[in-house]
Structure 1
């Protein structure tokens, strides 16, 4: 199962973070609109990501709910019928919640830097250090912590859980 090291943090100044990420990635980033539907499941999280272009991804992942860098193990399958798949999964498993966001993606080395504007929550940043098969999680954690510093993200901004959890807890 592929894995990455991930952190999530609140962003107080999205413009400044975008400028820093743009400098580090040497790009303006790619804007992606996404609607994630989370389904009830007994372990981990199961979500269908509608990429709003007729395609989607079904993603199962397991990750501890703690702040700071954490390892996420995941599996992914693509679909060309996200609405049809959503209906089947909703009917069979039930919907836990939905997240709508506009994501600006920057690539910095092996790290995906996401600057997210989440409907009902505000601005957040995610770092996903995609681990190679020969890499230990500790290496990914070191990369994530270093990038946090370069982006000006402090430990006091870190959040636990997924956006859907924050929405369900009413933290928006």
Structure 2
């Protein structure tokens, strides 16, 4: 398991931002098309149970399951994250449904990833929402992530990079994509 600290922000002009990322000297690590399914297992089977949520991500021929312990403060997201690969997503879906998991929402995110020092940048279009930039630092699970000075240093690095890219702090989005997608779905139903 690893820790990640990240921020995401709305993007108005992805083409211009991509040029800014290149001017910064970030190296493209490739394009992606992440198709995510979020599942929840509720102990009593009731939808309102807290339960446990996890994600099945299919990106090309690679399928990965991810579960997180997540906290968000002022747009800064801190996650303890576990992942493992799945050879056959169809068989995995059948297995988790037999275990009581229910599909909660789907998300599709397409874009390009860039490496800049120890920061991963993803310039993405999230289907149904729009364009975003995500800045993420990943740390080994033994990192003292509970040290306020460490978190503050990482926060300053990420927000400084966001500013270098010409994105103001008021463009930072605190809500998880899944929450925003649910809000869009609910607004369409009313």
Do the structures match in fold with TM over 0.5?
yes
Q: Write 1 or 2 for the structure with the bigger share of strand.
A: 2
Partners in 1 of 2:18 and 2:33 — Cα distance? Answer: 17
User: Taking structure 1 as reference, are residues 86 and 153 closer, same or farther at Cα in structure 2, changes over 3 Å only?
Assistant: farther
| Contact 1:43–1:62 (CA under 8 A) maintained in structure 2 | no
Aligned pairs for 1:74-89 within 5 A: 74-89=81-96
Runs of 4+ in 1 over 4 A off after TM superposition: 132-135
2:140 aligned with 1:140: no
Check 1:112–1:43 CA distance in 2 against 1; reply closer, same or farther (3 A cut). farther
Change in 2 beyond 3 A, CA 1:161/1:44:
farther
Tell me how many residue pairs correspond in the alignment: 171
Find the counterpart in structure 2 of residue 23 from structure 1: 23
Deviation of the 1:86 alpha carbon: 2.6
1:111 equivalent among 115, 119, 133: 119
Q: 1:43 to 1:146 in 2, by over 3 A?
A: farther
Task: Determine the structure 1 residue equivalent to 2:45.
Answer: none
Q: 1:45 to 1:146 in 2, by over 3 A?
A: farther
Is 1:69 the counterpart of 2:83 in the alignment? no
**Shift in Å at residue 108 of structure 1?**
0.7
State the partner residue of 2:66.
Answer: 59
Residue segments in structure 2 that go unaligned for 5+ positions in a row: 42-49, 145-149
1:70-100 CA distances to partner (integer Å, 9 max, x unpaired)?
A: 3211111112212321333245210110001
TM-score (ref. length: structure 1) = 0.88
Q: Alignment RMSD, CA only?
A: 2.2
Q: Is 2:23 the partner of 1:9?
A: no
**1:15, distance to aligned residue in structure 2 (A):** 1.0
Gaps of 5+ in 1: none
Show the counterpart of 1:94.
102
